[in-house]
Amino acid sequence: MTVIRSAARTVASTGISVAVLVLVALFWIGITAPTETHPLFYFGLIFVAGGAFSLLFAGVGAATAGSRAPAAPEADLRFFQGIRRLVLAMWLCAVVADALGVLVVLAIADGRGGTPLSATTEVVVFIGAAVTIVWAGITSVVMRRVLPRG
């Protein structure tokens, strides 16, 4: 149980921190975007933020697994199976949401229908998407290895 707590605490705190950092960066980009920016840019930001929320949910699930007090073995096993499914599902959601967000941002980056996006804005969005996908994958792999199987 101490291995679960240690791994879950590390993965959860880092995942939640990364998710909040990416959400703040996306929020800031959305607020400071020029008024002539294509409206679909905001949908791209929303999709990438969806990936960050997926990472946030995975981090909360990992934190919950790390703070669980031992109960009946059957109840613990069902609980940990649920957390294993949660972190995998959140990783897949992050991949899909971030991929859609990146595709939307790429589609309007050259300024069709609005002001072209700056290279810095594009880089921050792409890094935010990449970081959430990678860390959601790390969370999924670590938690699925540490938690007992059914």
pLDDT digits (tens, 9 = 90+) for 120-132: 999 999 999 999 9
Percent of the chain with pLDDT over 90: 67
Task: Give the model's pLDDT for residue 13.
Answer: 94
- Ramachandran assignment for 72, one of left (phi > 0), alpha (psi -120 to 50 degrees), beta (any other): beta
pTM, full prediction: 0.91
Task: Give the model's pLDDT for residue 66.
Answer: 86
Residue 142 pLDDT > 70, yes or no? Answer: yes
Instruction: Give how far Cα 127 sits from Cα of 40, 44, 97, 98, Å.
Output: 19, 14, 14, 10
Task: Give the model's pLDDT for residue 149.
Answer: 82
Longest dimension (CA), the chain: 60
